[in-house]
Each structure stands twice: as structure tokens, then as C-alpha cells.
Amino acid sequence: MNTTIKHSGGMPFLKMHGLGNDFVIIDARGVANPVGADLARAIGHRYFGVGFDQLAVLTTSDQADVDVAFWNSDGSTAGACGNASRCIGRLLLEESGKDAVSLRTERGLLPVQRAGNGLFSVNMGQPQLDWRDIPLARDVDLINLPIEGSPGAAGMGNPHCVFVVEDVEAVDLASLGACYESDPLFPERTNVEFIQILDRETIRMRVWERGSIITLACGSGACAAVVVAHRKGLTDRKVEVRLDGGNLTIDWRSDGVWMTGPATLVFSGTLSAEFLDQIR
């Protein structure tokens, strides 16, 4: 990847995106993890930093091809990021020449493989469907939460609250997303998805990401949306999810929820010593 931290004081990085869900990726394999909340917030600022929906920091792993830690732009951490995992998987596949690689995240081991035609697939694991694992504040019906609109909940390494609506374009995403992100039922806050059922194999989705605001796509959110929609009896297990940034294919199989979509490298760069010294 050629993004290893140099001793000159600069910090190389890559900018990638999956359907407009954008990431800064820092390769810290072989060195001490350089990133904390202050640096994550500084890099994530879209005017004074680089800007991202999530930051991914890669470190050496003894159980997978790489360990990955995810940060939101507000300096909080995320247990999983599906689109970023696909992007990292692409980098590792190209670097190693392997047919498949694995990432170790807070979510667990995530296998990534080529899917052809410039697409990549990641197994995001089985959804978390116990209220304590998502987590929720108390035991409730996960298919119809006691929240206006009867959303469903599922965990994909991070919590998701999924509303089914008649017209997703009419939703005031900024207002409602911010409101439900901090609902007391979600003690660690939540991602908020609004979905419209087009048919049993197609849904339209818009998303508010916890700690990020509105994003063009959310891989773990797309996975959770299909899980909730299927459990409500509205879709099959394999669904095309149409997001603001493009389409993902989600397939809830016996071994986990597989997500397939593109992974795009935008540019490489180096955070200057001047920038880093302002944070230290």
C-alpha cells in the first residue's frame, strides 16, 4: 500500500470511497498506532483536515491479514464499517495477490474476496439480534421497537435503527436522524436508516450515521436494513439496496451477511509534520 508512517514526521494516508461513503486509511503496520480521538477529529474535519466519514487504521495482526480500528469524524470509535472493509480488502488483495483476505475488527474476522467486474464482497458476519448485543437499554421487540414509526433494530458490529417508510425522499433525514441517533433506547447511540420497499428484492435507503451525519452510503446499515426488512416479512434475503451514492447487493446467507459493491481509490497523500504538530 506504501502508506507506512515515515520517520520524517509526516504521515502517509490513502483516500478511498465506497459509493461516496469516504474514508481515510492509515497503514500503521509495524509501528505504534498513532491515532487517538484528537487526531481522528482533526483529520476528519472537511475544512481544516482531510475529511472522511470514517477513518481506518491498519495494524499488524497475528490472527488475520490485518487488524483494523475505525474512527468517526467526531472522534468516537465504530466497531464496524462495511464499505471501508471492502476498500481495505481491495488494497490487501492487490498487495498480496491472494484470492481472499481477512480483516480483524471489533466486529470479528471479516473475509473479503473479489466479486468480478471491479466489485468486492465482504462477509459482515451474522447480525446481532439480542438486545444486549446491539446494545439496547432494555429487552423489547426488535422487529417493532417502542418508537414512533415502529422501526426495527439489528446490530452489525454497531447499532442500527431501521424505519420503513412510504417515501424515503420525503424524510427530513437531518432532523430525524439526529433525533433518533440519541434515543434513550440506544445507550451507545445508533445509526438511523430509512428504507422504502420497492419490491421483495429491491429497497431504497437513506442513512444518518452515528457520529458522522448524513452519508451517501453505509455498508453495515445496508446489511442491517435487509435483516430488518426480511424479519418484518417485506423482502427476501438477497436484496439490492439503492443508496444515494449507488447500489449494494446484500445477501443474508447461512454463514453471515455478505455485501458486494465497488471500492474506489481516490488519491494518496501525506499529513504534514506541521499539521500533526498542532495535534500533539
**CATH number for position 237:** 3.10.310.10
Amino acid at position 100, single letter: A
Per-residue pLDDT tens over the stretch 103-125: 999 889 999 999 999 999 999 99
Per-residue pLDDT tens over the stretch 7-41: 456 899 999 999 999 999 999 998 887 889 999 99
Residue 223 a catalytic site member: no
Q: Is 233 found in the same domain as 274?
A: no
Q: Is 36 found in the same domain as 106?
A: yes
Under DSSP, the state recorded for 235 is: S
Q: Is 96 found in the same domain as 31?
A: yes
Average pLDDT over residues 39-49: 95
**Distance from CA of residue 141 to its chain's centroid?**
25
Of these residues, 81, 87, 161, 223, which one is catalytic? 81
Q: Is 193 found in the same domain as 233?
A: yes
Of these residues, 87, 161, 179, 218, which one is catalytic? 218
Domain of 105, in residue numbers: 11-123+263-279
Sign of the alpha-carbon torsion through 232, 236, 241, 242: negative
Residue closest to 113 by CA, chosen among 140, 134, 85: 85
Amino acid at position 83, single letter: N
For residue 78, the model assigns a pLDDT of 87
- Total count of domains within the chain: 2
Residue 87 a catalytic site member: no
Q: Is 219 found in the same domain as 118?
A: no
Instruction: Residue count of the chain, please give it.
Output: 280
Q: Is 105 found in the same domain as 72?
A: yes
Residue closest to 267 by CA, chosen among 26, 14, 22: 14
Mean pLDDT over all residues of the chain? 94
Characterize the bridge pairing of strands 54-59 and 21-27: parallel
* 135 domain residue, yes or no: no
Q: What is the pTM of this model?
A: 0.91
Question: CA-CA distance, 65 to 268, in Å (whole number)?
Answer: 22
Q: Is 195 found in the same domain as 108?
A: no
Per-residue pLDDT tens over the stretch 179-216: 999 999 999 999 999 999 999 999 999 999 998 789 99
